[in-house]
Structures are given as structure tokens and as C-alpha cells.
Amino acid sequence: MMQEFSRRTDWNLAKTAYAAALERLRADGRAMFDLTASNPTTCEFQYDRAGILGQLSRPECLEYEPDPRGLPLARAAVVKYYAEAAATQISPGQIFLTTSTSEAYSYLFRLHCDPGSEILIARPSYPLFDFLADLDDVRLVSYPLFYDHGWHIDRAALAERITSKTRAVVVVHPNNPTGHFTSPAEREWLEGICDEHGLVLIVDEVFLDYALDTADARENAHASFSTGEHPVLTYVLSGLSKVAGLPQMKAAWIAAFGPELLLEAATARLEIIADTFLSMNAPVQHAMPYLLANRSSVQQQIRRRVRENLEEFDRRLGGSPAVSRLLVEGGWYTVLRVPALMSGDALAIRLMEQERVVVHPGHFYGFDGDGWIVLSLLPPLPEFAEGVTRLLGSIA
Ligand SMILES: Cc1ncc(COP(=O)(O)O)c(C=O)c1O
């Protein structure tokens, strides 16, 4: 008899034309201009290598003191981060450490969803959720964002998509790749509709510290969801991967907020979920106070890179009638509107083959139709500038 696999892993594993072209071109050894590069550890930032490595070899790292919520000293460091970054006073009891925001999402899906439950997520947004949802047997239902001098939630469309199976609304703040923050008015509306329908709010704030100080930024829109009142259960997610530019450390967290009794019930259950995995390791937890306290050097370098690349892009774009860039308020990405003369994949493959430039077609992030390109703003400036020149030369 054939051994069976679960239906939830019944994915189409065939390599896409995009992935095959990228693999083939990378293998020929000639330079590529990768405008999708967003791994901070490979984008030529200066890290305090000795300090970081020193933290990972402390004697305490050899002790095993399992705590489902995470070691108190590591959670205290997260509490301090919120006091500094968002002027929010959180108690350590509201914090749960996880190895990634993906794991944090998964804990929350398991906490609030049954098989077949529905989660509302923005479109366009970060594409990680599809597999997570399959693995946790939940169904993703997208709500549209629309662009009109900045991005907005289509409130009527979101409200229409709520059913008796809906359990949560996910907001990425600022969103990836649109780079927009949820406005205070949108937050208030979201809290109202979640309250009305018994839904929880899951807010991914991994890019919160990367607001762009440009004319694009809208007033007062950058506050963390950890601030203010919480009329519904609200889970704020973040982690070292973006906050300290250290994705390899595998440390993230959930900060839980909400009405007292509900919050108590939620955290008691969450503790059991976390206790079942006990996934945090000792060395990284012991290093967290240092890594968080020293986040500003890498954050400043990343903010400067993003700003310089965006300025460089605008200089090279000039008055091109064919290509435009959408407003960016924060994060590490920018979205381009280009002529929709061919499919997004065909365009991306042509750019790879003819110009050796790697970009993401918008459909990777759920943009409808063709004519959308997403660029990372993290590549080193010379590589970014050359890639953009080739890209614009080929399209404009
Ligand atoms: C919006 C968003 N959330 C979460 C993550 C992943 O974070 P982690 O490394 O903690 O899983 C990313 C990574 O790019 C992201 O863009």
C-alpha cells in the first residue's frame, strides 16, 4: 500500500517559470542586479559582530530553564522596547516569545480557529500566510486595499466578507509591500467591527520602526497598536528579524492586549500552546537584552539605505511617462506601476534574461492584473542604482 500524505500538504511543488529562470541565470556565474534582496545580513550593513557573538557564549546559555512565555529577562527586554519605541507600558505577562512571527501567527490561529475558520487578510500583502493557513487548517479570505493618494482599507468590502466562520482580522502595520500604515481612523473602525462581530485583531508590526521621514508620510499614522485602549483582543507581533536586522537569531514575540477577563483567558490558553513547543533556545534569549538595546545602529543604517535608494530611484526615474512609483510611508519595499504589456512573470523573466535584473512581479503579493513590480529598498546603493538604470532603460 502507498503511504498517504495529509491533504493540507497537497501543494503544487512544480518549479515556476520565474524560479527556473532565476536558478538558471544565477548558475552561469555572471553578476545579477537583485532588486528583491531583503536579507539584511547580506546587504552590507555593519553589525557589532564581537558584541553579538560575545552574548551568545555567556555561561547562562548552558542552563535549561524552560518558561513557556520566554525567559523573564528576555521578556523584560521586550517590555523596555515598547516603552522606548512606542511609549507603551506593557507587563511581562502580556509577552510571549516565539522563534518567528510565522510561529506567532500559527499560535494565534490555533488559539482562535477551528478547522475551516476564516481569517481576513489584506490584499496586497505579504505572501507568507497561504502556507501557514494550510498548515493550521484555516481559510484565508482577503479584503482589498485600494490606492488613492495613499493606501486605504476598502471598509465596505471587508465588512461584506465577515461570516459566522470569521475569527480574526490581520493587519500589517506598516504593510509589506505597500509601505503604508493603518490610519488612526482605520484602527478605530477595525476595532469597532471586530467588537461587533466577536473577532480578534492580529497586528504585524515588524516594520514599525522603519517609518520614512519623507513628504510621503501622513500625519499621526505611525502609532503602534500597542498604544491606547484595546476594546477587543489585540495581538501585536514583532521580532528581532526586522527590529534588530537579525533574522538569523529566530526571536520574535506576541504582545497581547484586550479587556481584562478576555486577556486572562487568552494568555492562559496561549501559555499551554507555547508550553507544548517550548521552542525558544537559551542563548538567544540571554542575548535579547543586548540585541534589543543595541538595535539603533543597524536601524539607522537600514533607514538611511531605504531613504537613499528611494531618492536614487526618483532621480533616475525623472519624468518618465511610462513608470511611476507609489507613495511609501515605511518598510523596506516600493511598488512601481509599469505598462501592462505582458504578464508580470513574462516581464520579470525578460528583465532577468535581458538585463540581469531581478524584481518581483506584483502578483507575488496579490496585486490584481499586470503592470505591478515590487522592489526591495535594501540592496547596496551601487547595485540598486545599476539595477534601476537597467530596469528603467528596458521599460521606460
Ligand atoms: C510583514 C512581515 N511579517 C513577518 C515577516 C517575517 O518575520 P520573521 O522572520 O519573524 O518570521 C516578514 C518578513 O519579511 C514580513 O514582511
Locate the ligand 1 atom nearest the alpha carbon of residue 247 and give its number.
9
Distance between Cα 366 and ligand 1 center (Å): 16
SS3 289: helix
- Torsion region of 244: left, alpha or beta (phi above 0 gives left; psi -120 to 50 gives alpha): alpha
Q: How far is the CA of 14 from the centre of ligand 1 (A)?
A: 25
Q: How far apart are CA 188 and CA 190, in angstroms?
A: 5
* Within-domain flag for 54: no
Q: Distance (Å, rounded) from C-alpha 100 to C-alpha 84? A: 22
The answer to whether residues 276 and 306 belong to one domain is no
Ligand 1 atom with the smallest distance to the CA of 125 is 1
191: domain CATH number?
Answer: 3.40.640.10
Tell me, yes or no, whether 300 and 288 share the same domain: no
38, 99, 101, best to mutate for ligand 1 pocket (most atoms within 8 Å of CB): 101
Residue 245 CA: distances (Å) to CA of 5, 240, 294: 37, 6, 11
For residue 229, CA distances in Å to 36, 95, 225, 233, 267 come to 38, 17, 9, 11, 18
Regarding whether 67 and 35 lie in a shared domain, the answer is no
Which residues does a 6 A CB cutoff place in the pocket of ligand 1?
100-102, 126, 172, 176, 204, 206, 239, 241, 247, 252
- The tens digit of pLDDT for each residue in 302-332 reads 999 999 999 999 999 998 889 999 999 999 9
Nearest protein CA to atom 7 of ligand 1, as residue: 101
Query: Would 301 be classed as within a structural domain?
Result: yes
Q: Which atom of ligand 1 is nearest to the CA of 241?
A: 9
* pLDDT for residue 396: 74
Same domain membership, residue 381 and residue 366: yes
Strands of the sheet with 151-153, listed across from one edge: 95-98, 252-257, 234-239, 200-204, 166-172, 118-123, 139-147, 151-153
Q: How far, in Å, is the centroid of ligand 1 from the Cα of 50?
A: 26
CA of 80 to the centre of ligand 1 (A): 21
Which among 217, 242, 238, 218 is positioned nearest to 226, based on CA atoms?
Answer: 238
Domain containing 328 equals 7-46+296-395
- The distance between the two most distant Cα atoms of the chain, rounded to a whole number of Å, is 65
| Rounded distance between C-alpha atoms, residue 122 and residue 171, angstroms | 7
Distance between CA 254 and CA 78 in Å, rounded? 10
Q: Is the pTM of this model over 0.95?
A: yes
pLDDT of residue 213: 73
Tell whether 152 and 69 lie within a shared domain.
Answer: yes
- What stretches in the chain show pLDDT beneath 50? 216
Same domain, 254 and 329: no
> In whole angstroms, how far apart are CA 364 and each of 53, 178, 236, 354?
36, 13, 25, 21
- Residue at 107: amino acid letter: Y
Q: Which of 261, 293, 325 is the endpoint of a domain? A: 293
What is d(CA 141, CA 162) in angstroms, rounded to the nearest whole number? 9
Q: How many domains does the chain have?
A: 2
CB atoms within 10 A of CB 264: 12
Q: Final residue of a domain: which of 272, 293, 314? A: 293
Closest CA to 46 of 238, 206, 208, 245: 245
DSSP-assigned beta bridge partners for residue 95: 255
Closest CA to 357 of 388, 379, 335: 388
> Which of 97, 145, 203, 241 maximizes ligand 1 atoms within 8 Å of its Cβ, making it the mutation to test the pocket?
241
pLDDT of 220: 57
Q: 3-state class of 110 per DSSP? A: helix
Using the mean position of ligand 1's atoms as its centre, give its distance from the Cα of residue 302 in Å.
Answer: 16
Residues 333 and 279 in one domain: no
pLDDT over 70, % of the chain: 98
For residues 209 and 316, membership in a common domain is answered with: no
> Do residues 257 and 162 both lie within one domain?
yes
